[in-house]
Amino acid sequence: MRPDRPRDPVTGPDEGPEPPYPIRMSGPVIKGFGRGSKELGIPTANIPADELSQHPELSVGVYYGVVALDPARFATGETIRPAVLSIGYNPFYKNESKSIEIHIMPPLSAPSPTATTSTDGQVTFHKMPDFYGTPLNLLILGYIRPEYDYVSSEALIEDIRVDCEVARRSLQRPAYRCYLVEDPTSEGNVREEIRWLTSFEMDRLRQHLRRRRSSSAGTNPTTSNYGTPLQSPPSANDKHSRRREAEASPPRRLYLTSDTPDFDAGILSRFRAEGFDVEYLPFRGCQNAVDGCGDVDKERKELENLLHEREDDLEPGERYAVVAYNKPAHLLLESHHQPLTATNPFPRLCALVAYYPDGPLTSTSTTNSNFLTSTSPDTSRGATGSTGSTSSTTTPTTYPPSVPLLCIQIHLAGTSTTTSSIADTLLNSTKNHPRKRHRCHVFTYPESSPRFAEPSSSNYDKLSARLAWSRALETLKRGFGWPATKWRVPDVENVWEEYWRCLSSSSSSSTSAEGGSERDEEDERSHRAAELVGLMVGSGMGVQMESVHSSGSSSSHLYTGAGKGTETETCTIEESPVVVCVPTCAGGTTPSTITKFYTNSHFLSPTPSPSNQSIRLLSRTTGPDRIVDELLLTFTHDRAIPWLLPNLPPTGKDVKVALVLVASFTAGKVARVHAYWDQASVLVQVGVLSRDGLPVVGAEGVDMVVS
C-alpha cells in the first residue's frame, strides 16, 4: 500500500539525469488492457515490454521522460512531448504480465490539465487522437516512485495526477527541459539523444521490407507484431475475423504524398482528426536530372509501384484515397491520362486530390491529348477565372450516372499559361479518350501561388486553403461512401443540432428561472455556456470518434460512443474557436470570451428575454464541414440587446431580422460561427435610422425573404 506521507515535488538531481539515465526504449504503440482510458480516464500508449530484458536496472515503478512519435504516421504540434510512465504489473488490477504504459502529457508551455481537480473531485488528463501502430521512441530521464496497491480507483487516479505534476516540474528544470527541444547549442550528449529520439527512418525501412516479404510469400500481414493483441497469441481464425471486421467497417486509408522529406504536421493531424488513417509518403523522384527535369516516365512508374505496395497490404473490401502535392500530383495525373488504356491504374483508389501539380507534363500520350501543348483562349479564360475569383471545370464522360467513376479533384494556383493549359488539356484529353473511368474537377485560385494550402509555406493563403480544404474533404469522404456509410467523426448536422439544443435550453432555463434566485439563474447560464464551448474546438474536451466492429452496429450517440459493437477514441484539435456577429463585432475568439458572450450577450442568453422573442429556421445547407442556416428572428425591443443593438436603450418597437449563420467544423467540433444580418434594416425598424435618401429598407425586406 502507498505510504501516507507527502510527495516530493521533483525527483532527480537538478544538474540533469544521472546514470543509468537516460535510457532508450522504442516500439510500436499497441493495444493495452483497455482500462486506462475507459475506467480511469487516463489514456496511455503501451509499447511492447520485450526491451525490458536489456535493462535490468529498471525496477517496477513510475518514471518520467520524453517521447517522440513517427511524424510519417502521426503528426503533432510538438515533435517531442513530456511523458510519465509506469513499468510493472499494476497491483491494483493484479496484472500477470509486465507492461510499459506511457501517458503523454501536453507541452510544458501549455497549461497543465492535472494541476488542479474540479469542484466535484474529477481530474482531467491530457488526451490525444488514437495512434495504434505508430512507432514511438522513449527516453527515460528519471525515477519517481515504486508501484503501490490502492484501496480505491480514486486513490489511484489521485496518485497518477500527482505523478504527472512531479514529472512536469522535474522536466521544467533547464538540465531536463533541453531534451524537449532540438537546440544546436545543447551539449553533445543531449543532441545525440534527441537525434535518436526523432529518427524513424530505419523503422520505416524495416516496415517496408516486412511488407515486401509478406506480399511475396503470400503470408497474412495482420499477424505481424504490429497487429498481434497483447493478451493472446494469434489464432487460426484471426484472419477471417479481421476480414469480417474490415468488411463491416473498413478503415479509411489516406496517403499524402509530396516531394519533400517531411510534410506539414498540422495538415496530417487534421486529416487524421477527420477520421482518416493517414500515412505520409515522401517521393522525391529520380535524381538523374537532365536540364532540371528527371525521367518523367520512370518517376511515374516508381510512384505507381509505391502505391501498389500499399494496395497489396489492404484487406478485401478496403479502399484508399490519395492527396498529392507538387511533383507527385503531376505524376499521378500522368498515370490517369495514359492514351493506351481506359482502365484506372489503381483499382482500389476511391478518390484522388491533386494540389498544384508542377513540372513539365510530358505525357507519353498523343499530341492531341498532351497535357500542356494544347491551349484554347476561350477555355483558358473560363478555367482561370479572369474576374479574380475561383472557378471550376469538370471533364465530360460518356458513362451513364449509374456507373461509378473515380473522382479526381485538381487545385491549380495562379493565372499563368501553365495553369490554364492544364485545365484546357484535361478537357481535351478526356474528349479524345471519353471512356476513361474517372472525372476530373479542376478548381483554380487566381490570387494564390503554388503551396498555398500548406501553412508552413511562405505562399500560404488562408482563404484559398480554407476553400480548397472544404472541397477536398467532400471529395475524400464521398469517395469512401459518405454520407451513406458510418463515419468515425460525428456528423456535422448532429453536432450543430446539439449546439442548438444547448442554446435553446439556455433560453428556456432563463425563462423558467425568473422566479428563482439571481445566483441560480447565473449558474444555469454559465453551465449552458460551458456546454456550448465544450462543443467547440479549443475546449480541451476532445472529439469522440466511433469505431464500428462486426459484433454489432453502432447507434449514433453523439460524444458517448454508446451502442453495441462500438469503441470510442478521443481526438483533441489544437485550433482556436471563433464566434462573431459581423455587423456589431460581438462574440469571442477564445473559450473564455466565448463563454462570457454566451452567458451574458447572446440572443438566447439575456434574462429576461425581449418580449415575444421567437426564432425559426427557414433553410439549411449542409456540407462535409460547413452548415449555413437562414433564420427568422422576431421580438419586441423592450430590453437591451447587446449583441444586436449595443449601447441602444429599449425602444418598444417590433423587429424582424433575417439572420444567416455560417458554421464551420473541424473533426466533429464547431470551429467558427459567423452571424450576418442587415443592420440598416434593424436600425430602420427601431426608429434610429431614417430611410429618406438612403438605399435601405425596414421589415419589408424580411417579409420578402419569408414569403
Residue type, 649: P
The C-alpha atoms of residue 629 and residue 638 are separated, in whole angstroms, by: 26
Q: Is the sign of the CA dihedral 27, 33, 34, 39 positive or negative? A: negative
The C-alpha atoms of residue 469 and residue 387 are separated, in whole angstroms, by: 22
Task: Assess contact for 424 and 371: CB atoms under 8 A.
Answer: no
- Of the candidates 83, 85, 84, 60, the residue with the CA atom closest to the CA atom of residue 148: 60
The C-alpha atoms of residue 679 and residue 699 are separated, in whole angstroms, by: 11
8 C-beta neighbours (distance < 10 Å), count: 12
Task: Assess contact for 37 and 124: CB atoms under 8 A.
Answer: no
DSSP reduced 3-state for 468 = helix
The C-alpha atoms of residue 553 and residue 486 are separated, in whole angstroms, by: 9
Residue type, 486: K
H/E element holding 382? helix 377-384
Catalytic pick among 78, 101, 518, 567: 101
Task: Assess contact for 685 and 656: CB atoms under 8 A.
Answer: yes
H/E element holding 439? strand 438-445
The C-alpha atoms of residue 205 and residue 530 are separated, in whole angstroms, by: 47
Task: Assess contact for 603 and 635: CB atoms under 8 A.
Answer: no
Residue in this structure with the C-alpha cell 436603450, named with its chain if needed? 649
Residue in this structure with the C-alpha cell 467532400, named with its chain if needed? 474
The C-alpha atoms of residue 269 and residue 129 are separated, in whole angstroms, by: 9
Residue 282 β-bridge partners: 258
The C-alpha atoms of residue 513 and residue 507 are separated, in whole angstroms, by: 10
588 C-beta neighbours (distance < 10 Å), count: 18
Is 101 tagged catalytic? Answer: yes
Residue 86 β-bridge partners: 62, 101
**93 grid coordinates:** 488490477
The C-alpha atoms of residue 54 and residue 344 are separated, in whole angstroms, by: 50
Task: Assess contact for 251 and 108: CB atoms under 8 A.
Answer: no
DSSP reduced 3-state for 216 = helix
The C-alpha atoms of residue 550 and residue 651 are separated, in whole angstroms, by: 62
- Of the candidates 214, 238, 213, the residue with the CA atom closest to the CA atom of residue 227: 238
DSSP reduced 3-state for 393 = strand
Task: Assess contact for 327 and 301: CB atoms under 8 A.
Answer: no
The C-alpha atoms of residue 227 and residue 208 are separated, in whole angstroms, by: 15
- Of the candidates 658, 660, 655, the residue with the CA atom closest to the CA atom of residue 645: 655
- Collect all residues with Cβ–Cβ distance below 8 Å to 117 and sequence separation of at least 6: 123, 161
DSSP for 342-355?
Answer: -S-S-TTEEEEEEE
The C-alpha atoms of residue 627 and residue 494 are separated, in whole angstroms, by: 11
For residue 316, say if its preceding peptide bond is cis, omega within 30 degrees of 0: no
The number of residues in the chain equals 707
Annotate 264-322 with three-state secondary structure.
CHHHHHHHHHCCCEEEEEECCCCCCCECCECCHHHHHHHHHHHHHHHHHCCCCCCCEEE
The C-alpha atoms of residue 501 and residue 497 are separated, in whole angstroms, by: 6
Known catalytic residues are: 101
